[in-house]
Structure 1
Amino acid sequence: MGLPITWPEGKRFAFTIFDDADNDRLVNVRPVYDFLGDLGIFSTKSVWTLAAQYEATLGGLSTEDPEYLTWARRLHERGFEIGFHGARCHSSTREETQRGLDLFREHFGSDPRSMSNHFQNVDSIYWGAARLSGARRWVYRAANFHASLRAEGHVTSSKYFWGDLCRDRIRYVRNFVFRDINTLAACPFMPYYDATLPFVNGWYASSEGGNIRSFNAMLTEANQDRLAEEGGACIMYAHFAKGFYVDGRLEPRFVALMRRLASLGGWFVPTGTLLDFLAEKHGGLHEITATQRDALEWRWLLAKLLHGSS
């Protein structure tokens, strides 16, 4: 399961983006996707399918907005993947999450292949301290990371439980985010199954790019060249509504970096497509061992203690 991997079509490396729906408005995300599509970089745009019932701290449009739904469908038709960011931008009960998934299938013709938890939602699955095991869970709690954060999507006694729906209807869920352009080097066995977290079929990692500053810092020319030289794979974690298009223009450094990246001979496919390919190369979903879990969790937790990464 080591590197390097031979990528399709003789490509040098693989690159994709999973864009969380936070703060989405058509005015701030549509220009980003027009630009990516023109470059031939087809990635994953996550959506909420239910509108907010009240104003949320990290809110945005949902596919209950007709114009936004039309736009998301056109993205899908063009070759972008539509991912799931939970049913809505605030916590949803099991019944609401099921309705959100049903709407997703109705809108896009199938269940989501990939998803990410929405930070503030109680229906998040294996989130917060629940991502970790053993002493690492204690360290996370002792460090007081997001002490008020509740995550009960996997708790069978909770009204927010939907773990069985996740297992039955979603293939891949994002977990750890690393400060490494080569996501596959940080997590070489992704997508992986963790028997201690049984409601998720396959986990994947990402590289830090949650806002325009961290995205550009991750995608520097030196990092691009290293990704290509290593023949690696990058799944960027991003919020394209956070500073990528401001005052009527795309951020210039982002434009320059993405144009350069597009010229380097990468395989630019959505998150689910990349993960399906890796799973096939690995002979199926890898079942993570206790030793591998320990190392992966410590790597992420130490980075979080030092830098506060996602």
Structure 2
Amino acid sequence: MKQSVRYCLIFFGLCFVLVLFAITAIVISYPRYEAMTFPDGKKFAFTICDDTDRSTVENVKPVYDLLQEFNMRTTRAIWVYPTNDSTNWANWGETLSDSLYRMFVLDLRDKGFEIASHGIRGGVSHREEILAGMDYFKDVIGYYPRIHINHSLNPDNIYWGRNKIELKPLRALYDLVMDRKLFAGHVPESEFFWADFVQKHIKYMVNFSFHEINIAAVNPLVPYHDPDKPFVKYWFHTSDGRAVNEFNDLLSPENLDQLENEGGVCIVYTHFGFNFVENGVCDSTFTERIKDLASRDGWFVPASEILDYMIKHGQGGGDLSFTQRVYLEFRWLYEKLIYGST
């Protein structure tokens, strides 16, 4: 038994080394990002995708008041229904079923913030309930979401977990060290299948998140279509600022200088429900970061508006190449193992 485990570890170790050599060769020749031009001569583009986990009106409204004060319009992902699995703390949070929260979300919409989907709930939902929930989303918000973000351990997640990775050596490494829970939102024979709705109504989905302020420096093709994941029109990757400390580190003055100097694009993935507000007041460092950001000549609009612009101006919209896939998947898995990235 011990010998078989040893051989298994050797095999995966060799796979890892081979992939590392491949990545080294790719990085040397990888196409570098060229600065974009943005509307009104803005020097860079910036927005936020706020994941609704653990969010309430009380713990996120001060953040949106601050963003509104500095004329920043961002993207807010929401749930429709309450959780049916409160054992997972990530499922906690208010939803469109809560009247005060619904009023808050509609106010954000009316102020120009984008309302996106985080699924119909945190927990287990089957196809019929998902489709009904998306219709309710449209009835309340006035449109189907243009962006969907998978949630945590929801079995209806689309191309999630090990399915985020197509390269077999990297998927084998993922299976070896990560949770092998299966997700079936993209599997037609599954009771959780709803990817046909996504294909018809939702334009963008979040895939990988990186420790990088300029997402176009990771892969200049933003957004992109992945032919191996046909139910999704376009994928985009994000900058990892998943909680208040990570967000503040990401938006350091040095990183913002880099974003501005590179003429880059930053779409931060975060959770404003994760300690951005205490006793009704925004974290002081976060407030300073937003003030610094607002003082710079950036284009601050919701995520789908930036992604539409990048497609229109030829920066994104194409098919993901093999070289780009290898780089994205390897870098994401590396950061996942080292930092626990999303």
TM score, norm. by length of structure 1: 0.96
Alignment partner of 1:32 is 2:66:
no
CA apart distance, 1:186:
1.1
After the TM superposition, which of the residue ranges 183-192 and 284-293 deviates more from structure 2?
Answer: 284-293
State the match for 1:233 in structure 2: 265
More helix by share: 2
- Taking the aligned partners of 1:30 and 1:284, their CA distance within structure 2 comes to 33
Would you say how many aligned residue pairs link Structure 1 and Structure 2? 308
Whole-Å separation in 2 of the counterparts to 1:282 and 1:96 = 38
For residues 43-63 of structure 1, the C-alpha deviation after alignment (integer angstroms, 9 at most, x for no partner) is 001101122234252121110
Task: Provide the secondary structure at the position in 2 that maps to 1:136.
Answer: helix
d(CA) in 1 for partners of 2:190 and 2:322? 28
Q: Computing the radius of gyration over CA atoms, which structure comes out larger, 1 or 2?
A: 2
Counterpart of 2:267 in 1: which secondary structure? strand
Aligned partner of 1:89 in structure 2 is 122
SS of the residue corresponding to residue 116 of structure 2 reads strand
Structure 1 gaps, min length 5: none
- 1:56·1:90 contact (CA, 8 Å) conserved in 2? no
Partner of 2:172: 138
1:210 to 217, 221, 242: 242
User: Equivalent residue for 1:186?
Assistant: 218
Across the aligned residues of Structure 1 and Structure 2, the Cα RMSD in angstroms comes to 1.3
| Counterpart contact for 2:221–2:316, Cα < 8 Å | no
- Say whether residues 1:166 and 2:172 are aligned partners: no
Q: 2:276 aligns with which of 211, 236, 244?
A: 244
Offset of residue 291 of structure 1: 2.1
Please report how far the alpha carbon of residue 66 of structure 1 lies from its aligned counterpart in structure 2 after TM superposition: 1.2
- The answer to whether 1:123 aligns with 2:156 is yes
1:284 Cα offset (Å): 6.2
CA distance in 1, matches of 2:118, 2:320: 25
Equivalent position to 1:105, from 134, 138, 141: 138
What SS does the corresponding residue of 1:215 show, helix, strand or coil? helix
Query: 1:247: how far off?
Result: 2.2
| Contact kept in structure 1, 2:85 and 2:122, CA below 8 Å | no
Q: Does 1:303 align with 2:310?
A: no
Q: What is the alpha-carbon distance in structure 1 between the residues aligned to residue 265 and residue 319 of structure 2?
A: 20
Give the fraction of aligned pairs with identical amino acids, expressed as a percent: 38
1:114 aligns with 2:136: no
Q: Distance in 1 between matches of 2:270 and 2:339?
A: 17
Cα deviations by residue, 1:96-155 (Å, 9 ceiling, x for unpaired): 110111011111211111121001101110000000012111111112x234x3311011
Give the aligned partner of residue 70 of structure 1.
103
1:15 alignment counterpart = 46
Structure 2 runs not aligned, ≥5 long: 1-30
Bigger mean CA offset, 237-246 vs 285-294: 285-294
With the length of structure 2 as denominator, give the TM-score of the two structures.
0.88
For 1:72 and 1:86, the matched residues in 2 are separated by 16
Q: 1:46 aligns with which of 77, 87, 105?
A: 77
Residue by residue over 1:155-176, the C-alpha shift from the partner in whole angstroms, topping out at 9 and shown as x without a partner, is 1111001110111110000000
1:273 correspondence with 2:305: yes
Please state how far the C-alpha of 1:22 moved relative to its aligned partner: 0.2
Paired AA for residue 9 in structure 1: D
Q: Which runs of 4+ in 1 moved over 3 A?
A: none
